[in-house]
């Protein structure tokens, strides 16, 4: 799905008919507004450290002044729960249809996230990462900056992202899981529809990815892994995580199961990228999070990680699968081959186009003082100048890292 085109058409299915709302270059912002009682509004503002379903007889959700058929709405997330600007999961009874004009593709959204970006002081991390992931063919979800309001009061800039579970089921997947530390399964969404394989079979197939890691090596390990997990996808994600210095991604990836030749093979959907541009990976100083299939591993500094793997283009070895790829010469050679292919489509021009898109999309929000003033409730406040400086700094950083990767792969930049 190509997001270079600005024109988007939303169709709202309301009262058994479609009502078309067209969002063109002339429409600056998309606005969602939650209506609740004053008591519920205050509870949302002040509640701490807990996720919950919003229960209120006055509950309504509007989209550009059109009422949506809301099924339920949850407060979600981890780090943002203690902030006034909460993040939300939305589940509709009837879908919003989104159409990207350039590709002519119609998508329906009945489940999506409204992410507050409270920990991202200029709101750009997820959007830049998603744009790069999309260039690499790894971000299939619909996403867009929107404004969110409660009872007519702006809550600031939000990031709407299609629900991964909804997307995977529309692709024909019956089972999707979110990975956690030590390759534990954090949660699953199971809707047997086409194949009716038991959930235990899907779980077993996922566990097989990790069970074999200490025992197989080289080409045998690669072939076994690739039959269970799309390793081309996984390699590309690891390469982008290295480029972005993604400090925390073990538990920020979804695995959704497709059936190929009657066998379960997982594909991935990367998730939350609010920890990019990190100085060191997540495993530094966190022995509790590091995989132990290859024995106890502990890294007190980033140099400890580099001493273990050398100058390989892998940012984190927290997860045992990433560690195996770093340490097995055959796997790492395949990773570098995939990375070299990725460099053919990801260059300085592609990065520049993504940053230009982000600037176009965020400018209307940064020109609205009421919207940007809501950043005072976040981890750090922002402003137009702070945003512009950070955009310039991060674009230069990524261009330099990209050039360094190309040199290490001995690829000449033809952009």
For 3, phi and psi rounded to 5 degrees?
Answer: -105, 15
CA atoms in the 13 A half-sphere facing the CB of 228: 19
Q: What is the pLDDT of residues 294-320, one digit of tens each?
A: 999 999 999 999 999 999 999 999 999
Structure tokens at 393: 């700094």
Residue ranges, the chain, pLDDT below 50: 1-27, 414-415
What string of DSSP letters covers 35-89?
A: E--HHHHHHHHH--S--EE---TT-EEEETTEE--EEEEEEE-SGGGGSSS-EEE
pLDDT recorded at residue 15: 39
Task: Give the Cα separation of 301 and 290 in Å (integer).
Answer: 13
Furthest-apart CA pair in the chain: how many Å? 63
8 A C-beta contact, residue 271 and residue 252: yes
Supply the Cα-derived Rg of the chain in whole angstroms: 22
8 A C-beta contact, residue 106 and residue 98: yes
Enumerate residues 6+ apart whose C-beta is below 8 A from 58: 35, 36, 37, 40
pLDDT recorded at residue 195: 87
Element of type H or E holding 11: strand 8-14
Q: What is the pLDDT of residues 82-96, one digit of tens each?
A: 999 999 999 999 998
Q: For the chain, give every domain's residue range.
A: 1-162+349-410, 167-343
pLDDT recorded at residue 391: 98
8 A C-beta contact, residue 13 and residue 69: yes
pLDDT recorded at residue 80: 86
pLDDT recorded at residue 100: 59
Using DSSP, state whether 208 is helix, strand or coil. Answer: helix
Which candidate, 41, 104, 49, 95, places its Cα nearest to that of 71?
A: 95
Task: Give the Cα separation of 336 and 313 in Å (integer).
Answer: 8
Burial class (CB in 10 A: 0-12, 13-18, 19+), 200: exposed
pLDDT recorded at residue 414: 45
Task: Give the Cα separation of 298 and 281 in Å (integer).
Answer: 12
Whole-prediction pTM: 0.92
Cα dihedral across residues 147, 161, 64, 81: positive or negative? negative
pLDDT recorded at residue 8: 39
pLDDT recorded at residue 342: 96
């Amino acid at each position: 799905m190509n997001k270079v085109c600005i024109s988007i058409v939303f169709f709202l299915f309301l009262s058994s008919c479609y009502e078309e709302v067209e969002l063109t270059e002339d429409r600056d912002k998309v606005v969602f507004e939650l209506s609740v009682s004053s008591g519920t509004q205050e509870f949302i503002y002040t509640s701490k450290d807990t996720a919950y379903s919003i229960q209120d007889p006055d509950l309504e959700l509007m989209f550009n002044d059109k009422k949506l058929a809301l099924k339920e709405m949850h407060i979600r997330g981890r780090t943002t729960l203690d902030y006034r600007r909460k993040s939300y999961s939305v589940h509709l009874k009837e879908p919003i249809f989104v159409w990207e004009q350039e590709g002519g593709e119609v998508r329906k959204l009945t489940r999506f996230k409204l992410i507050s970006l409270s920990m991202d002081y200029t709101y750009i991390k997820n959007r830049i990462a998603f744009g790069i992931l999309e260039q690499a063919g790894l971000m299939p979800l619909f996403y867009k900056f929107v404004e969110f309001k409660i009872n007519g009061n702006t809550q600031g800039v939000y990031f709407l992202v299609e629900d991964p579970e909804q997307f995977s089921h529309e692709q024909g997947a019956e089972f999707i899981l979110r990975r956690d530390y030590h390759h534990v399964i954090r949660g699953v969404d199971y809707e047997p529809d086409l194949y009716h394989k038991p959930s235990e079979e899907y779980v077993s197939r996922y566990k097989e990815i990790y069970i074999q890691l200490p025992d197989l090596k080289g080409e045998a390990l690669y072939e076994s892994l690739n039959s269970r997990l799309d390793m081309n996808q996984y390699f590309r994600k690891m390469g982008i995580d290295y480029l972005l210095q993604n400090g925390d991604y073990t538990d920020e990836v979804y695995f959704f199961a497709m059936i190929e030749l009657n066998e379960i093979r997982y594909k991935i959907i990367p998730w939350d990228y609010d920890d990019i541009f990190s100085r060191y990976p997540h495993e530094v100083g966190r022995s509790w999070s590091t995989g132990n299939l290859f024995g106890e591993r502990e890294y007190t500094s980033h140099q400890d990680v580099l001493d273990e793997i050398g100058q390989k283009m892998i940012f984190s070895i927290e997860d045992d699968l990433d560690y195996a790829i770093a340490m097995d010469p055959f796997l790492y050679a395949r990773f570098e081959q995939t990375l070299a292919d990725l460099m053919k489509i990801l260059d300085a021009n592609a990065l520049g186009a993504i940053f230009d898109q982000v600037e176009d999309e965020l400018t209307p929000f940064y020109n609205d003082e009421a919207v940007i003033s809501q950043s005072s409730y976040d981890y750090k406040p922002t402003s137009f100048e702070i945003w512009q400086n950070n955009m310039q700094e991060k674009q230069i950083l990524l261009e330099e890292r990209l050039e360094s990767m190309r040199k290490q792969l001995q690829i000449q930049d033809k952009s």
